Structure 1
Amino acid sequence: MSSTPAPMNVAFLGLGVMGYPMARHLAEAGHAVTVYNRTTAKAEQWLAERPAHRLALTPREAAAQADIVFSCVGNDDDLRSVVLGDDGAFAGMKPGALYVDHTTASADVSRELDRIAREKGMNFVDAPVSGGQAGAEKGCLTIMCGGAETSVERMRPVAMAYAQAITRVGEAGAGQLAKMVNQICIAGLVQALSEAIHFGEVAGLDMKQVLDVIGKGAAQSWQMDNRGKTMTDRQFDFGFAVDWMRKDLGLCLAEARRTGVSLPVTALVDQFYADVQALGGNRWDTSSLIARFDHLKR
């Protein structure tokens, strides 16, 4: 882990379930943090807990004095809305400043913003994260970065306030492509785990016991360790929401269509998540794929 960096002026745009604790970790690391959120009440709540810091009413205002501007918003359109335009962050950033985006977005928008940043004499890194809300709360996210090596090294000691690993995987857009690989892997794993648990339950097995046994062998995975038992209990009121996963898988499938890559399992699991949404599980954890089997049995 990098040594503690000198305190910096930073901005954080977007205080959702991920951004709120990430900005908190920056403040706790000693940085002067200016926050912006589309819903001002959320930013006011964050500031009330940390009155030594600042609240801005526009991304441009938040970015004005920042050495590094971080963001974590919903999608491509949300990202453009906080970066571009008269009130966007790019309009307020000083020459040489660095913009680090943690949104899970398309590789195309990352390349677009990187090009615009360079034209303005600034720097951009696309840096999607893995680890979910729990990782953000605990400050142990994994970050995949696309951008210039110098920019990644510049953000590394600061972002380590909420990360356990930061890796540059290529030029602008590469971080988003790596995150797509991550989500493709997760989708297949959760569906396989759902099928396995359903199969075992129908066979009359004690699935918590079985998961303990096979979790010590070749079938072990993070999903099994962290979601297997809650799946058997049908507990889904936590974690990474189905709506977010469908957004992410949509990005994967769009990129696959653009490049001519076949993703048959990913496409199928995406439709299974649509079934979960139809059951009212929009905000359930992604492990709720197993709920489809309960519905199909009726």
Structure 2
Amino acid sequence: MSKVAFIGLGVMGFPMAGHLAAKGHEVTVYNRTAQKAQAWSAKHGGRAAASPAEAAEGAEFVFSCVGNDDDLRSIATGPDGAFSGMVSGATFIDHTTASAEVARELYAAAQDKGFHFLDAPVSGGQAGAENGALTVMVGGDEASYVAAEPVIRAYARMIGHMGPAGAGQLTKMVNQICIGGIVQGLSEAIHFAQHSGLNVQSVVEVISKGAAQSWQMENRWKTMDEGRFDFGFAVDWMRKDFSIVLDEARRNGAALPLTAMVDQFYAEIQAMGGQRWDTSSLIARLPKT
């Protein structure tokens, strides 16, 4: 068992840190809103710290799951950031969905200070975090990954080392590209079935056993058919992720016409008041029967 810190106790970080505590690790937590850290400690028995630096003191592994690049820089290298509290040889593992650029930047900063950095974004949403069934995509040095993998496994169903620093974030971008295209296709398919007078449930029962099958179809067709969108990753968050994806594509020369189009469709959903609807809400912009 290890002494660990977890920084960022949102809908993902709160249960992830809880799984670490349940596995017997000694966990210290930090959250910008102190009441959330205190609530976590009351539930799981760990200690709440007053700053990222305090949380990181003496920890072998420091985990983070925050909002964006700027948030990550703030809790890592800002005033009272975790990097100022970490010891030589420790490993910082970031689960934020952020840019590959900031991952490489923090990897270099960690190397200069004598510790390790892994970019390790996750897929699986709040349910995956709560059930300890996340998919984790890791970038960084192989030796650092091998040392951290057993600890990460506390809340993961699948963990993969994708390459050097930034490769985890790039893999998460691939993941989001796939999800956007799949959800748009599923939205149009259900919309078409509705307009054709078909029984959507009967259609899905058949086609989900063939080549059209996807996690989105299996888990979202019913709520999409019913027009309910409170079941997962929010549109605002997806647009943040797409912004990262499209910025990276401009840098590396990848052509992403479908992703750019779906991003604009999500902008329409936001304009409809659906900022906090889940990503399956793409169907809401299509005319009803």
Q: Secondary structure at the match of 2:286?
A: helix
Residue in structure 2 matched with residue 147 of structure 1 by the alignment: 140
CA deviation after TM superposition for structure 1 residue 48, in Å = 1.1
Q: Which runs of 4+ in 1 moved over 2 A?
A: none
The residue identity in structure 1 corresponding to 2:15 is P
1:20-169 to structure 2, matched below 5 A, reads: 20-51=14-45, 53-169=46-162
Residue in structure 2 matched with residue 262 of structure 1 by the alignment: 255
Structure 2: how far apart are the matches of 1:158 and 1:50? 17
CA offsets, 1:157-201, max 9 Å, x none? 011000011110100000000000000000000000000111110
Structure 2: how far apart are the matches of 1:86 and 1:133? 30
The residue identity in structure 2 corresponding to 1:180 is M
Structure 1: how far apart are the matches of 2:137 and 2:152? 12
CA deviation after TM superposition for structure 1 residue 19, in Å = 0.2
Structure 2: how far apart are the matches of 1:281 and 1:86? 36
Among residues 244, 251, 254, which one is paired with 2:244 in the alignment? 251
CA RMSD of aligned residues (A): 0.9
Counterpart check, 1:11 vs 2:16: no
TM-score relative to the length of structure 1: 0.96
Structure 2: how far apart are the matches of 1:70 and 1:103? 10
The residue identity in structure 2 corresponding to 1:149 is E
Q: Secondary structure at the match of 1:161?
A: helix
Q: Give the share of equivalent positions with the same residue, in percent.
A: 64
Structure 1: how far apart are the matches of 2:236 and 2:10? 15
1:207-222 to structure 2, matched below 5 A, reads: 207-222=200-215
TM-score relative to the length of structure 2: 0.98
Structure 2: how far apart are the matches of 1:85 and 1:18? 23
Q: Secondary structure at the match of 1:187?
A: helix
Among residues 167, 177, 180, which one is paired with 1:187 in the alignment? 180
CA offsets, 1:106-127, max 9 Å, x none? 0000000000000000000000
The residue identity in structure 2 corresponding to 1:252 is V
Structure 2: how far apart are the matches of 1:155 and 1:282? 35
Structure 1: how far apart are the matches of 2:91 and 2:102? 17
Structure 2, unpaired ranges of 5+: none
Among residues 154, 174, 199, which one is paired with 2:192 in the alignment? 199
Structure 1: how far apart are the matches of 2:148 and 2:272? 42
Structure 1: how far apart are the matches of 2:130 and 2:58? 27
Residue in structure 2 matched with residue 3 of structure 1 by the alignment: none
CA deviation after TM superposition for structure 1 residue 246, in Å = 0.4
CA deviation after TM superposition for structure 1 residue 86, in Å = 3.2
CA deviation after TM superposition for structure 1 residue 261, in Å = 1.3
The residue identity in structure 2 corresponding to 1:35 is V
Structure 1, unpaired ranges of 5+: 1-6
The residue identity in structure 2 corresponding to 1:222 is W
The residue identity in structure 2 corresponding to 1:206 is N
Residue in structure 2 matched with residue 236 of structure 1 by the alignment: 229
CA offsets, 1:32-64, max 9 Å, x none? 10000001111111111123x110010000001
Aligned length: 289
CA offsets, 1:240-292, max 9 Å, x none? 11011000011110000111211000000000000011111111110000000
Q: Secondary structure at the match of 1:160?
A: helix
Q: Secondary structure at the match of 2:154?
A: coil
The residue identity in structure 2 corresponding to 1:161 is A
